[in-house]
Amino acid sequence: QDLSGFIAGLPKAELHLHIEGTLEPELIFALAKRNGIALPYPSEQALREAYAFTDLQSFLDLYYAGAGVLITEQDFYDMTAAYLQRAHADGVCHAEIMFDPQTHTARGVAIETVFAGIARALRDARNDTGITGYLLMSFLRHLSEQDAFDTLQAALPLRAQYEDLWLGIGLDSAERGNPPEKFARVYQRCRELGFRLVAHAGEEGPPAYVRDALDLLHAERIDHGVRAEEDPVLMQRLIAEQTPLTVCPLSNLKLRVVDDLGQHNLARLLRSGAMVTVNSDDPAYFGGYVGQNYLESALALDLSRAELAAIAGNSITASFLPDAEKDKLH
């Protein structure tokens, strides 16, 4: 069996995925047309060619601009349905999906519209293919603490309606200069409300941000976390506590966190006993969905089939599924 077939056959969860990062240029153009929005690119091809990033911010600028074509509930539905279909084809049986309501509410899109479209696609996909999903509402860390509190307040009335889906919160966007401590009180409130907690840390930011995401935010999972390796004491803690790291190899390559995939620390982290998983982050922008991330990592880092299976197993373990569901997937 070829390697991509082997990878597709591994039951896996995707734990680090921004739904706005799944908007392919074709869908951006289709939605722009449907909504009468003019795009500053003459073609899908020209847009794709603009995806030459130098760092996280250079990507975020394009990513927030791309999300500007999302207006109606159907737009959010179509985006989410397209992702779930691709994920299912990659052997993803469960996806924990981040979304950034502030990107949309700032443009005048109601938070109800965002939730409704994404949730309807999740429920339809579950019925059609069996793929399951949870939602992690993510706060934009370049915005203020107050803005995050306002977003939480606006979302809470929807909680009962999406109880089966929305079970956690996350923290994303520009990491440097926006340390975890900025959101300590927001996370404290979310914790009291019983949400599961994840946070981006140690992508571009220093290992201290990973430590603070654990100690100040009480994050249960660290998104990226690759720079934790620079602090051996922190690394030993992550291993001892089996804190999951949702690593995104192609993202790290495209955003120049690493110069080439052969230099990525994924294999080293795995072999040192860390609870690492492989995920796609923003697959429409970074050159591949989760299967491609497994495949290119395997080729660049000589991951064995047993190691790929261990990574897929970790993704089930590190998910927020109930233990009985995990047992069925292991």
Which amino acids are annotated as binding site for substrate, given as ranges?
282
| Position among 14, 75, 203, 296 found at the interface with ligand ADE (CB under 6 A) | 203
Smallest gap from Cβ 195 to ligand ADE, in A, equals 19
Burial class, 244, CB count within 10 angstroms (exposed 0-12 / middle 13-18 / buried 19+): buried
DSSP class per residue in 229-269? GG-HHHHHHHHHHT--EEE-HHHHHHTTSSSSGGG-SHHHH
Q: Is 50 helix (H, G, I), strand (E, B) or coil?
A: coil
Q: Out of 203, 204, 229, 296, which one is annotated catalytic?
A: 203
Site for ligand ADE in 252-311 (CB under 6 A): 281-282
Q: Give yes or no for residue 75 binding Zn ion (CB under 5 A).
A: no
203 annotated active-site: yes
- Taking CB under 6 A as the criterion, the residue among 102, 103, 151, 173 binding ligand ADE is 173
Give the Cα separation of 265 and 261 in Å (integer).
Answer: 9
Give the interface segment with Zn ion, choosing from 25-33, 182-190, 259-267, 279-287 (CB under 5 A). 279-287
In sequence order, the 6+-apart residues with CB closer than 8 A to the CB of 175 are 56, 141, 200, 201, 203, 204, 205, 209
How many Å apart are CA 19 and CA 67, to the nearest integer? Answer: 10
Q: Binding of ligand ADE at residue 96 (CB under 6 A)?
A: no
Closer CB to Zn ion, residue 20 or residue 281?
A: 281
Contact 12, 312 (CB under 8 A): yes
Taking the complex as a whole, the smallest distance from the CB of residue 257 to ligand ADE amounts, in Å, to 9
CA distance 242 to 264: 20
Q: In the 8-state DSSP scheme, what is residue 321?
A: S
Q: Which of residues 251 and 292 has its CB atom nearest to ligand ADE in the complex? A: 251
CB of 226 to Zn ion, least distance (A): 12
Q: Residue 166 or 285: which CB sits closer to ligand ADE?
A: 285
Q: How far is the CB of 248 from Zn ion (least distance, A)?
A: 6
Residues near Zn ion (CB under 5 A) are 281
Active site residues: 203
Binding residues for ligand ADE (CB under 6 A): 18, 21, 56, 172-173, 200, 203, 251, 281-282
